[in-house]
């Protein structure tokens, strides 16, 4: 059984945000707010990766252990 503290941390959640289903969910939510939005999944992924998440989370060893 995985300890809840191993899952509920910035590294694990950061990696979840970079997974395709999460990025697709974010795109759907953005489309609800702005129906004319024409962003690609890759664009949203790069914004999350480059601007939202810190380099510490992206480069973390813990993040690669998911």
CA distance 50 to 55: 8
Count Cα neighbours of 66 within 13 Å in the Cβ-side half-sphere: 19
pTM value?
A: 0.78
Name residues of the chain where pLDDT drops below 70.
Answer: 1-5, 61-66
Question: Which runs of consecutive H residues, i.e. helices, occur in the chain?
Answer: 4-7, 10-17, 20-33, 41-47, 55-59, 61-64
**Sign of the dihedral through C-alpha 12, 15, 17, 20:** negative
Mean pLDDT, the chain, as a whole number? 87
């Amino acid at each position: 059984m995985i300890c809840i503290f191993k899952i509920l941390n910035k590294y694990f959640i950061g990696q979840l945000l970079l997974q395709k289903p999460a990025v697709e969910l974010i795109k759907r939510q953005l489309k609800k707010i702005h129906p004319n939005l024409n962003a690609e999944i890759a664009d949203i992924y790069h914004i999350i990766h480059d601007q939202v998440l810190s380099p510490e989370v992206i480069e973390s060893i813990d993040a690669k252990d998911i």
